[in-house]
Structure 1
Amino acid sequence: MVRPVLLLGHTHGPTGDRAVRVAADLASRLGADLHVVHVVDSRDYPVDPDSADFDTEAERRLADQHARVEALLRRAGHAGAGYSQETVRGAPVAALAAAADAVDAFMIVVGTRGEGPGSALARLVEPSVSHGLIGHQSRPVLVVPAGAG
């Protein structure tokens, strides 16, 4: 029997880390494989595009992001078998949807920035990935709320 796949869209910061912990717990409870996808964004690049080590620094930041997810999964007891990770480029909603299609994920898990005036302003600059996925997906989308724990 083929194990189901749970796709996690991971981003920087506490919200992304919380989503890793929730997705790892859910995958363990469901006996599912976990496929973690990081969509490259501006935080993955150095500030100065003309710096001599721009490409090297960008690759280091992506490797650090990858290692962070692995460390979180180890702490959650989910590292090793049943886990894969990839980094992709593109519009986050489209990239996560394509990755979910590629692995035939039964569900997508993403974090949220939360609600409130700050989040509303942030959505004007960078649209909500969770809202975009919910509106354009045939598969379930689990949105992990921001918060402690």
Structure 2
Amino acid sequence: MSTTPTTHVVVGVVLGQPPAVVRTAATFARRFGAELVCACVDPARYTLEHAVDGPDLAVPLDPDLLDPPVAEPDPRVEAMVAEHLRGTEVPWRYRALAGGPARELARLAEELDAAMIVVGTREAGLRGSLRELVNGSVAAQLAHRQHRPVVVVPLAPSADDEDPSPA
């Protein structure tokens, strides 16, 4: 029997994200015997070419920036993911992507033929509300624009009698 995972679970990760998202994704990956692929998408860049093995060719939205032309992994995000997964024994890898988060997570899941995509709810507060108002919910976009199951991990649930809108 092979111990190499034949399926994948894709999870969207961002710096400072609570551990619940990655740990929930790891639970699903363990149950499915899958590799966990932790993907961080930089929305300030866009992808010119997807690489099969290695970083994608990506450039900043602002043409005046002199950033390197690849989707660079953020070592802080990778370290955060490693910390969240410590002791889980789930095989995992980290991918840096560039572009719209929903589009890039869906593309990666398609590329890997992933069993599912796991994301967290938006960050609490005004900044998260404004970002969602302008860009839309990543979870909702994934649910409506691709065919894989989407698991949404609540990060700041409100009680039934509370107003979930920001103050």
Tell me the C-alpha RMSD between the 2 structures.
Answer: 3.0
Q: Does the residue aligned with 1:25 lie in a helix, a strand or coil?
A: helix
When normalised by structure 1's length, the TM-score is 0.73
Identical aligned pairs, as a percentage? 34
How many equivalent pairs are there? 134
CA change 1:38–1:114 in 2 (3 A) is: closer
The answer to whether structure 1 residue 67 and structure 2 residue 64 are counterparts is no
Identify the residue that residue 131 of structure 2 maps to in structure 1. 122
Q: Which of the residues 122, 136, 139 maps onto 1:113? A: 122
Identify the residue that residue 13 of structure 1 maps to in structure 2. 16
1:118, distance to aligned residue in structure 2 (A)? 6.9
Q: Does the residue aligned with 1:131 lie in a helix, a strand or coil?
A: helix
Runs of 4+ in 1 over 3 A off after TM superposition: 114-122
1:23-79 Cα offsets, whole Å, 9 max, x none, are 11221122211111110145xxxxxx98xxx87xxx6x811111111121114x235
When normalised by structure 2's length, the TM-score is 0.66
Which amino acid in 1 is paired with 2:152? V
The answer to whether structure 1 residue 142 and structure 2 residue 151 are counterparts is yes
Identify the residue that residue 89 of structure 2 maps to in structure 1. 78
Identify the residue that residue 45 of structure 1 maps to in structure 2. none
Identify the residue that residue 4 of structure 1 maps to in structure 2. 7
Over alpha carbons, which structure has the higher Rg?
2
Task: Give structure 1 stretches of 5+ with no counterpart.
Answer: 43-48
Q: Which has the higher contact order (CA 8 A, sep 6+)?
A: 1
1:14, distance to aligned residue in structure 2 (A)? 3.3
Query: Which structure features the higher share of helix residues?
Result: 1
Q: Does the residue aligned with 1:14 lie in a helix, a strand or coil?
A: coil
In 2: Cα distance, 1:101 partner to 1:123 partner: 24
